Amino acid sequence: MKTTAHGFARLAESQPHLFQVNPNVPASQALAQASLLLTAAHEIAEEVAQLDVGSNAWGAACLIEMARAVVDSVAGGMSADAQPVSCDGVNP
């Protein structure tokens, strides 16, 4: 499984996206990178939440943490699918 092109950071509706996810990157590598990005975002949101108690930063931190859990779960499932193991621990 590989990525498809997906643009983001459009500066205006009539303009093309400034950045994009490149096509044909192995999905496992893309998910690993997404997990790292979500980890950094979670750390920033937690830091902001500790400084600004009245903000929505704790909610954002929780949502980021949930998104990372989904990404990591899919990546783990892909790894398990890629390397099937029988009940006795031997590759079939």
pLDDT at 4 over 90: yes
Rounded to whole angstroms, how far apart are CA atoms 13 and 19? 14
pLDDT at 90 over 70: no
Say what the pTM is.
0.75
pLDDT confidence of 85, banded at 50, 70, 90?
A: very low
pLDDT in tens, 39-84: 999 999 999 999 987 779 899 999 999 999 999 999 998 877 655 4
Q: Which two tokens stand for residue 6?
A: 């997906």
Domain limits, the chain: 25-78
Q: What is the CA radius of gyration of the chain?
A: 18
| 8 A C-beta contact, residue 18 and residue 58 | no
Rounded to whole angstroms, how far apart are CA atoms 86 and 75? 20
Rounded to whole angstroms, how far apart are CA atoms 56 and 36? 22
